[in-house]
Amino acid sequence: MRRLTPPSLTALIFTVLMSAVLWPSAGAAAPELLAAGDYARAFESATTAGDPLTATQAAVAAALYGATSGNSASGSADQGLWLERAVSSGRAAVQAAPQSARAHLELGTALCLQAGRGGFTLGAYRLSRACRAEYERSLALDAGLSEARAALARWHSGAWARAGLIGGGDPATARRLAAQALREAPQNVRVVVQVATAYLELRATSAARTLLERSLALSPQDAQDRDLQAGARATLAGLR
């Protein structure tokens, strides 16, 4: 058997390193697919790689925007399936990393979306309460996570808009959380759109319009930001 000479060994190492760069593992590809807007493939890749957090984010995005960025959201049955996947992956993410504020935030979002499909039922009410608990847990773990603060503001505004005091939402709390989140992250598309939506639910239409317009002037960081901006543009068109 021929022994590897130093040049041959160098070439072998180079080939291995280049293979890792050109053909990344499924785990490495999942965040990239998510950022690019290939939500269905991102979910599959993250699930295969044992990355439940990215899988949750991808499933939520697929439920909201369709399997790929720029497409309209899937039909009701498909959306329900994606939300089931999102909740399942979210629970796995929290179980794997119970001290992760981001994991609790993503699970909360999945639960809130599932609650929204349930209408005015006891099951939907319980899901909504579970969503709120996840958002609050997220902030308890990381008080600087502005996206969680904006999401909790949106929970209060939405609960108030749907059911008033019975829903458990507090408009004053929604305004306080929204204002703080906006101060902390004025360049974050997700935060700005969440706060704008909260203001719409609180019937502060002028403030909401200003924020929606601001969100369109921000530089999107990934496909989800672009999809949010597309939604903001459509909402603005309906306000005019």
Secondary structure in 3-state letters for the chain? CCCCCHHHHHHHHHHHHHHHHHCCCHHHHHHHHHHHCEHHHHHHHHHHHCCHHHHHHHHHHHHHHCCECCCCCCCHHHHHHHHHHHHHHHHHHHHHCCCCHHHHHHHHHHHHHHHHHCCCCHHHHHHHHHHHHHHHHHHHHCCCCHHHHHHHHHHHHHHHHHHHHHHCCCHHHHHHHHHHHHHHCCCCHHHHHHHHHHHHHCCCHHHHHHHHHHHHHCCCCCHHHHHHHHHHHHHHHHHC
How much is the average pLDDT of 63-83?
80
Look at residue 233 and tell me if it is in a domain.
Answer: yes
How much is the average pLDDT of 154-175?
90
pLDDT of residue 236: 95
Look at residue 227 and tell me if it is in a domain.
Answer: yes
Look at residue 197 and tell me if it is in a domain.
Answer: yes
Question: Does the pLDDT of residue 27 top 70, yes or no?
Answer: no
Percent of the chain with pLDDT over 70: 85
pLDDT of residue 67: 80
- Write b or e for each residue in 63-74: b if 16 or more Cβ atoms lie within 10 A of its Cβ, otherwise e: bbbbbbbeeebb
pLDDT band, very low/low/confident/very high, at 76 (cuts 50, 70, 90): low
Look at residue 24 and tell me if it is in a domain.
Answer: no
Question: Does the pLDDT of residue 211 top 50, yes or no?
Answer: yes
Reference 192, options 236, 132, 239; nearest CA is: 236
Residue 179, domain extent: 149-240
CA distance 152 to 112: 10
Q: Is residue 37 a contact partner of residue 69, using CB atoms and an 8 Å limit?
A: yes
Look at residue 114 and tell me if it is in a domain.
Answer: no
- CA-to-CA dists, residue 175 to 38, 131, 139, 140, 201, angstroms: 34, 19, 17, 19, 11
Look at residue 217 and tell me if it is in a domain.
Answer: yes
pLDDT band, very low/low/confident/very high, at 4 (cuts 50, 70, 90): very low
Domain count, the chain: 1
Of the listed ranges 7-21, 78-92, 99-113, 190-204, the one predicted with least confidence = 7-21
Question: Does the pLDDT of residue 28 top 50, yes or no?
Answer: no
pLDDT band, very low/low/confident/very high, at 59 (cuts 50, 70, 90): very high
pTM here? 0.85
pLDDT of residue 77: 66
Q: How many other CB atoms are there within 10 angstroms of residue 54's CB atom? A: 22
Question: Does the pLDDT of residue 20 top 50, yes or no?
Answer: no
pLDDT tens profile 29-54:
999 999 999 999 999 999 999 999 99
Look at residue 123 and tell me if it is in a domain.
Answer: no
